[in-house]
Structure 1
């Protein structure tokens, strides 16, 4: 209980640092972009590599894990479509569906797992990050294109996935682990130190991006997104992976990662593919703030 409360206070505190840094002008858009680039190209890849390179991935990357992720993800997509299908504004309909399942795995999920649940759960979380990203990004593009009838370059989307530094680091870690290749301590030690920055950097970035415009508030739609993303999705993961009988590390990482708030990247997709960008920003704000409480509950339950 004390450890979980400590994580809860730490999470709140770092989010507050991000909000304060933006409010005081210390973290303006230019500096936030540079910090984001540091996290995306250096910190997160370092964390993922050191979390996977020496793990028994054959036991972690199981058919049960892949099947369970697909069940939870597509069940949530289907349920979100049913709930939001009658919304009159098509630009909000697509965004609401997407933000009900598209999880913030890189900036919040993986760093929180690494800071809380131990090395095996962290290795599983790294695998989940790659598996879910490769699945939810194409689904998100398809949903937004279908609803908004936007034009999108499939080649550009594939290129972004292939050159994603997080996925490259995951692939490298899997190759090293699978073939039992040795990595010198002189390489692992600095990468581990850099990877420890993932959680505070991620929380500061998320906090600095939290903004609320009351003029575009749609309480019913936003409440539905929050309920699906932070209540239904981790519950579905809990039931699914309990039924599949996976080991404790896989169960813990899967439930926690799939219970993360809506990814900030959904705002970018909404902007590029004809969705309501302001509504998307509001939902990122709402799910991220609400996840402070739900993450605390999940840490208590999964402890």
Structure 2
């Protein structure tokens, strides 16, 4: 399968968002409003619908869920270990690390769900929605914890108000309770989901910044190395150890290699950390995703298991 060609439409939307934001009247304030709309309304509807629309066989998905939880734990452990490593410790500013650690293990859910259908069909999109539902609460706790400790603020409020956590929790509960979307509403929520993916990808491109990438190089390289190399390799090892089937392996590998979450910047700013530096890392992570996704799917995905 030609993964670069398959992923081209999604990354072309990211490029389009960047060009529109930089070179037209559709500037950053417009895209900030669009990102807010996607984050608080359109994307939660997509997540809820993705989880609800097909019955979930928890027994069949148990190994995939276990792999997702393990990936979250390992990614968090690797990021948390960085300021304690002997070779890196003298070069890592703990305050910058607290705001940046999230880059290593959070993921761009817009891109994850956008690519899951083309690479793995409807079954793959359901599996990706399940992974998102399991992963979002775990990595949000891991992202907020070091920043909350550094600022002496609680993190429970940040979690319970997260629209992605709310949408996926409601979706899982509704699915297990046997709820199905009424036929009359199906076309509407489907179109909302399609709009959320297109706008979300373009908003990710509009938010790209390059100016702050020269700061704290050791920290930047460490976080991006975890995000785009160590996590895909870890995902392949987990797929092998848990004997995931082909579709589950494809979804887990894609999930492990997507760029970091664009909302890393928003969270860092909200909690008083270095937003421009985090925005630079999000930008570079988005570009590296063009390499890590073909690596995970086309190289690791073809290795014998």
Describe the superposition over 1:221-248 as per-residue Cα deviations: whole angstroms up to 9, x where unpaired: 2222221101101110111122112333
Conserved 8 A contact 1:234-1:255 = yes
The residue number in structure 2 matching 1:93 is 97
* Displacement of 1:51: 2.1
Describe the superposition over 1:189-241 as per-residue Cα deviations: whole angstroms up to 9, x where unpaired: 22222222333222211110011115743333222222110110111011112
Does residue 23 (structure 1) correspond to residue 22 (structure 2)? The answer is yes
Conserved 8 A contact 1:51-1:119 = no
Conserved 8 A contact 1:49-1:173 = yes
TM-score of the superposed pair, with normalisation by structure 2 = 0.86
Give 4+ residue runs of structure 1 displaced > 4 Å after superposition.
none
Gaps of 5+ in 2: none
Conserved 8 A contact 2:43-2:197 = no
What is the SS of the residue equivalent to 2:185?
helix
Give, in whole Å, the separation in 1 of the partners of 2:213 and 2:131: 37
TM-score of the superposed pair, with normalisation by structure 1 = 0.86
The residue number in structure 1 matching 2:64 is 65
Aligned length: 296
Give, in whole Å, the separation in 2 of the partners of 1:8 and 1:248: 19
Q: Aligned-residue CA RMSD in angstroms? A: 2.5
Please, which of 209, 224, 232 is the counterpart of residue 230 of structure 2?
232
Conserved 8 A contact 1:11-1:292 = no
Gaps of 5+ in 1: none
Conserved 8 A contact 2:103-2:264 = yes
The residue number in structure 2 matching 1:122 is 125
Q: How does 1:97-176 map to 2 (within 5 A)?
A: 97-104=101-108, 106-146=109-149, 149-161=150-162, 164=163, 166-176=164-174
Give, in whole Å, the separation in 2 of the partners of 1:88 and 1:38: 36
